[in-house]
Structure 1
Amino acid sequence: MKTALICGISGQDGSYLSKLLLTKGYQVFGGSRDAQMTSFTNLARLGIRNDVQTVSININDFRSVLQTLLKIKPDEVYNLAGQSSVGLSFEQPVETLESISVGTLNLLEAIRFSNLPIKFYNAGSSECFGDVGSLAADENTPFRPRSPYGVAKAAAFWQVANYREAYQLHASTGILFNHESPLRPERFVTQKIVAAACRIAKGSYEVLTLGNIDIARDWGWAPEYVEAMWLMLQQKQVDDYVIATGQTYKLRDFIRIVFESVELDWQNHIRIDPVLFRPTDIAEGHANPTKAHKQLGWSASSNVSDVARLMVKAYMNQTV
């Protein structure tokens, strides 16, 4: 039986990854800053709360990380922790940089120091690329991040690459483009849209207020993306991979599909507020996931329409 430690297990990706690893026979440990005070709501929603062993670990504290690794002796460590909102990173840049960059460095250094044969996955982000226009970004596209979140993720990416080359660690970064699910909180725009549309369909008179709806992104289905994470750590040749659908749509397309799913015309229910525009933003995000398809045998099955409808269905069923 393999053992996995997932840092950031209470989030969307950590919860879906836990479920995947449990189906593969893993013993799963979930790390949280204070495991006794964390509700692990997402694990409960997936029906696996009692199947995961939770531990308290602060990845910003090297001693905490090292003690946890030496105690659990995991075969695989998945780093999904850290501040996860691009928008919030403009308000909390220091917390964002420390939780992502310093946390990743502590995990890498603790793995090296422990001398255990641990395979390490790091959650990267398409935000590292910045605004590349219509270019489909791949693993060789230069980074030019346009948010504190993107800057932090870029720093973490290069830390992983450095430790892989300098110390021969089995360490990979998944450069994931946007991936959504019903486990997203409403501070993420996709779930904000889904929740508002469903409430309006049930009789609410609210108006949905949004920022720039002309941004374009590659949106995928989160439960599929965690399989790519696992696949990276099963490879003999260690590498980094872009994970995406390869299809890009504007946010207004996502909005339209969501409202059509509840039989509403979106233009009657939203307003644009320039206050919600970010100081710097990415106009378009395009991805080339060819390498993941060829080397991992992974490709996305769900497109943006599937994602929107699945999120609406889950929200409606949850609130019945």
Structure 2
Amino acid sequence: MARALVTGVGGQDGGYLAEQLVAAGHRVHGTVTGEDPLPPHLAALGEALQLHRVDLRDAAALPALVDEVGPDWVFNLAGASSVAASWSDPVGTLDVNGRAVLALLEHLHGRDGAPVRLVQASSGEVFAGARGPVTEDSPVSPLSPYGVAKAVAHQAVGLYRARGLHASSLVLFNHESPRRPERFVTRKITRGVAAIAAGRADRLVLGNLDVWRDWGWAPDYTRAMLLAVEAPEAGDYVVATGRAHSLRDLVAAAFAEAGIADWEPLVGSDPALVRPADAEVLVGDATRLRERLGWAPTVDFAGMVAAMVRADLEETS
């Protein structure tokens, strides 16, 4: 049984990972911000989850918590999570997604006591400018402040791994679930479709429908984190399905799940919602993760969208 520290446990990935860790018999500590009440799925973990409130803008806060908790494993999932929002606060995004990670790595490398294993939530956005399916060897080529900050953390993990730290970067491509906040376009779509189906809305306004992304099921991606932290050797791993779908495909699948065939008149476009710079196609190649750690996705694109729409239909009924 290990003692795990999950930063950002209140987010989509943190919640699924905490549940998986508890189910496997591990003790879990998690960081949150603010005073918002716990979501039901975390409250249900009871005493198996111990919470700590940490401000990642304070570079000393997370290292101090590591010393307090004494974890065997650290899963660093916290930080700014929106590519779009990073354009309005690039410096703040770099502080929490880059500088805080570097401070954590330096502390883990230099501290006394038993070695700690780290899994860093990296992102496909680190390689947004690369051509073709992204692998672990693709050139670092971010196209947004979010990608730049994640690139700093991603490369820092490699530096400290070379210095002996068991530190892995999981290059997470888009992954969704009913727990995804509405500020993300995928949840905006599924919730908007559910509202239209229930007669509570008559239109869904989006940005560019012609971007293509590699979308997967969030619990599959947190399962990859467990495989990485338990592996004898650390490394970088792309976590992706290997298949790209357009945002238009996602909209069509969501309306189909809601029983609406003629959906195009219900969807509008607002140029203000288009990002200043964005990859047209972003897809990953998870061959290394499959071959070395035995990972494979369990839910496909259609199943992911259907699960999200069904959850939103239940909320609006």
> 2:281 aligns to what SS in structure 1?
coil
Q: Structure 2 CA distance, aligned partners of 1:315 and 1:49?
A: 26
What residue in structure 1 maps to residue 27 of structure 2? 27
Which residue identity is paired with 2:255?
F
Report the CA distance between 1:71 and its aligned residue. 1.6
> 1:255 aligns to what SS in structure 2?
helix
Deviates further, 141-150 or 25-34 = 25-34
Report the CA distance between 1:49 and its aligned residue. 5.1
What residue in structure 2 maps to residue 251 of structure 1? 247
- Cα distance change, pair 144–293 in 1 and its aligned pair in 2 (3 A): same
Retained in 2: the 8 A contact 1:128–1:150?
Answer: yes
Deviates further, 185-194 or 200-209 = 200-209
Report the CA distance between 1:156 and its aligned residue. 0.4
Superposition RMSD on alpha carbons, in Å?
1.4
| 2:98 equivalent to 1:94 | no
> 2:60 aligns to what SS in structure 1?
helix
Q: Structure 1 CA distance, aligned partners of 2:215 and 2:160?
A: 30
Retained in 2: the 8 A contact 1:10–1:42?
Answer: no
Q: Structure 2 CA distance, aligned partners of 1:136 and 1:182?
A: 27
> 1:123 aligns to what SS in structure 2?
strand
Work out which of the residue numbers 97, 107, 110 in structure 2 matches 1:113: 110
Retained in 2: the 8 A contact 1:7–1:31?
Answer: yes
| 2:47 equivalent to 1:38 | no
Q: Runs of 5+ in structure 1 lacking a partner?
A: none
Retained in 1: the 8 A contact 2:130–2:140?
Answer: no
Aligned ranges 1:21-170 → 2 under 5 Å: 21-34=21-34, 37-41=35-39, 43-44=41-42, 47-48=44-45, 50-115=47-112, 116-133=114-131, 135-166=132-163, 168-170=164-166
What residue in structure 1 maps to residue 169 of structure 2? 173
Q: Structure 1 CA distance, aligned partners of 2:20 and 2:290?
A: 19
Work out which of the residue numbers 198, 204, 216 in structure 2 matches 1:202: 198
Q: Structure 2 CA distance, aligned partners of 1:9 and 1:205?
A: 33
Identity score, percent? 38
> 1:131 aligns to what SS in structure 2?
coil
Q: Structure 2 CA distance, aligned partners of 1:40 and 1:101?
A: 27
| 2:271 equivalent to 1:274 | yes
Retained in 1: the 8 A contact 2:194–2:316?
Answer: no
CA deviations over 1:60-90 (Å, ceiling 9, x no partner): 4343223211221101000001100000001
Retained in 2: the 8 A contact 1:78–1:121?
Answer: yes
Q: Structure 2 CA distance, aligned partners of 1:302 and 1:128?
A: 25
Q: Runs of 5+ in structure 2 lacking a partner?
A: none
| 2:214 equivalent to 1:218 | yes
Q: Structure 1 CA distance, aligned partners of 2:229 and 2:15?
A: 18
CA deviations over 1:152-196 (Å, ceiling 9, x no partner): 000100111111112x00000000100000111111000000001
Q: Structure 2 CA distance, aligned partners of 1:290 and 1:66?
A: 34
CA deviations over 1:218-261 (Å, ceiling 9, x no partner): 00000111000111011112111000011111110010000011
Count residues with an aligned counterpart. 315
Retained in 1: the 8 A contact 2:252–2:263?
Answer: yes
Q: Structure 2 CA distance, aligned partners of 1:215 and 1:309?
A: 20
Which residue identity is paired with 2:86?
S
Which residue identity is paired with 1:139?
E
| 2:234 equivalent to 1:238 | yes
What residue in structure 1 maps to residue 182 of structure 2? 186
Deviates further, 60-69 or 183-192 = 60-69
- Cα distance change, pair 220–275 in 1 and its aligned pair in 2 (3 A): same
> 2:221 aligns to what SS in structure 1?
helix
Please give the TM-score of this superposition, normalised by the length of structure 2.
Answer: 0.96
Deviates further, 47-56 or 105-114 = 47-56
Retained in 1: the 8 A contact 2:198–2:316?
Answer: no
Work out which of the residue numbers 286, 299, 305 in structure 1 matches 2:283: 286
What residue in structure 1 maps to residue 301 of structure 2? 304
- Cα distance change, pair 78–99 in 1 and its aligned pair in 2 (3 A): same
> 2:168 aligns to what SS in structure 1?
strand
Q: Structure 2 CA distance, aligned partners of 1:56 and 1:7?
A: 10
